[in-house]
Structure 1
Amino acid sequence: MAGRRLAATGFSVGLLAPLVAILFVAATPAIAASSDCNIAPDVGIEWGSQAELRNLDDGNVVEWLLPGDPNVDLAPLVSDFYAEVTIDPIDGAALRMELVPGYSYTFCTEFHEDPQDPPNVAPIGDVYLLSETNWGYYTNEYIQHKNGWGDVEEALKWVPVEWRDMIVFLPFRDVHAYEKVQSNSFSTALDSDSKGWISWFGEAQDPSYYLVLDNWNNSRPSDANSVDGGMIVQVWVEVEERLTLPKFTAYLIVGILPISCIVVPLILHSRYHAAGKGSADDKTQLVPLLESEPGYDSRDELDD
């Protein structure tokens, strides 16, 4: 009986522990997302190690084939930094970074007018977090726009919605697009290292992510128009360690529920039969034995 109780307790703990752990980990990014960056400007940045500055005017037609400078091998981003980026009218820039699992990243940006070329309107712009592939789509779209090769937004009207993600850039996880903002903060974290492909030209570089600062009218209908002057963008990136569950917990969550649908009825069935067998043994009734005195005959009482 004690062994059965121990098995039932272990099964219950195995079922509930992954669920509790996942709820705890899921709450961690939400807490980070609700706070702004608390980084002093004197922290600075190590260019070429923590991040690489990419300007749209540096791109070319084959930018999507060479998304990053092969001579700049960034280190995994595991520490905070602060940077200031200048953006000209009808232009944009991006910070290329190597984000890694196990850390939560909070990005804060503020647009300010450039004293050397102040705009006549409020300094607002767009902020995107893009993967390496979508950065290539983004730069190619800018090249078409700058060279007057056609209105991309107008051309998209003739493309079915389900095919547009093959030719236009999409923000990371389809949510990290913040448009028409003067200041903004958001947080994200990676669940895997995104190394799901094989390079036939040698060892593949670690995947990069781009924090894009936009000051031109791209193909997205909700983005801001270009301001008629330069802007200086302050960028803070706060890095915090984050608890990450091992990958096998996903298999536990997926497998425990169907297994429990089989094991739990078997346990209940065995306990039911064990209880029935025990009660039958306990209720065994003994028939009383009546003994008479020697020489006693019940027929004598009947004759009387």
Structure 2
Amino acid sequence: MSVLAPNPSVSFAPAVAGPRVVVLGNEKGGSGKSTTAMHLVVALLRLGYKVGVVDLDARQGTLSRYVENRTAFVQSTGLPLPLPELRRVARSESPSREVAESEERTRFDGALAELAGLDFLVIDTPGSDSHLSRLGHQAADVLITPLNDSFIDLDLLARIDPEGRRILGPSVYSQMVWEQRQQRARAGGRPVDWIVMRNRLSHLDARNKQKVGGLLDQLAKRIGFRLAPGFGERVIFRELFPKGLTLLDLREAGTDLTLSHLAARQEVFSLLSALGLEADPGED
């Protein structure tokens, strides 16, 4: 039984023509991009949508391995868990920048063309500024940027004064996102819904959290994103990876839900609600 239902108050429906593209973008490691992506993929599959995964971070390949682990688990157990279509797009090894970018564009366009008949594409981008990352950002209908709740990670979005009170200017990542949004607009694309997903780090004190929250509220208005709740530091997210499972699969996989599981599931449901998907209140 699906644990999700569409939320009519938020528009997250597929486009009229072609799949809706959701991109996970962040140039800092350890932000939970792949975990977020996989939970979103499974949520959409459980709503009955046809979903494709495009991994532009082929060298690291975390999301690809997550999907492959899930496929292997389904094959070994026979459980009818929903599976997405997967495509990897590798960086070009050509020493010529012009040739490399042309090859990468061809590979990227080819992957999207192969998955054109699906409802959603979820794209994972590399954790660095690259041509493939920029192609992914430019394709986004929805851009999700997971961000750990700290001044170090806030530096991804903006330069902050030494006292942590004032925004001095946008970061290189924010500038890159702005440039790709402009490119998309010039090509006639729809506006990008940029969502910054605010993860919670338990070791941060309340005063720092309040400062980070205030600065994020300012930045949201200045550079054009909206905030969504993220995940806390929970072991369960790391434990699910080897089997390719998500918190939405636990009952079918025969796992008895603990209080920690339920708390983590609620974090996932809160994020999905911000994206226009709702948990079935009768499920828990």
Given the two structures, how large is their TM-score scaled by the length of structure 1?
A: 0.21
More RCO (CA 8 Å, sep 6+)? 1
Higher helix share: 2
